[in-house]
Structure 1
């Protein structure tokens, strides 16, 4: 491969792979990520689609549009195969929580964007699904980690003080969104 065929993202991604380990751990999602070095990375997989995502989506104060498009596609409503642009603030909260947890494994994403049809179907099956869910706006994610408990993930996300955090212990996941700061769950 010649140097002329290497994309900016590819070059920055190679740099990021070595620099991510040196990024500091912080206690407030937006506060830490603003001054948290030059790189933000998110790693997830979907048990529903079998897809994985490992991408640097922020470098030197800027979101990377191509990476945000990858994230939006990955977090699509797999039931209807529809997309909604994912709010990068939600990804920031998930990334900051992941750093606080000091884990290398990717999140398992249970739910990202939900179409109104999917949300209505899930709402008919569960009392825990909000009628006007932030999932329908691309502003929420339901996540879990094998190596950390729901309580540990919940505490890390809550420590970010940057959005809504819901603990769903019986269903083994934590909801994170970029809406108003609030917490709920058992």
Structure 2
């Protein structure tokens, strides 16, 4: 009789362990859907009203970046810079495709995030919170919290582009 109780208790513990490990595995999969690497924001000078945020995104399945939010700006938009006839221009885009397994670079010369109507100056070394909303092909949304470091950037101010 005791042997049966020990076997049943052991079997119950093994089932609990397997369930716990599978839940941990599922939680890890959810958190690992989209990776954000080298996130940074261009530091500003006093009075500057906008700046850019840059990073590399890589999704494990076909997805798209839908939006970005940050408490440091009243307006946050996803933009794409392009060069035509030696003129750099910038336009807002609704979303950015993130093909499965392929890194997508957000840099000053392509896709980037514009932080507009800043609430305060962004100083070199500051940590700027960003919240990214990514949607996969199944329509499942993922919210990613990022702390982007403010860095100096020796190039023209994005707010001066048209």
Q: One fold, TM greater than 0.5?
A: no
Normalising by structure 2, we get a TM-score of: 0.26
Decide which structure has greater helix share.
1
Larger RCO, structures 1/2 (Cα 8 Å, 6+ apart): 2
Normalized per residue, the structure richer in strand is 2
Q: Which entry has the higher C-alpha Rg, 1 or 2? A: 2
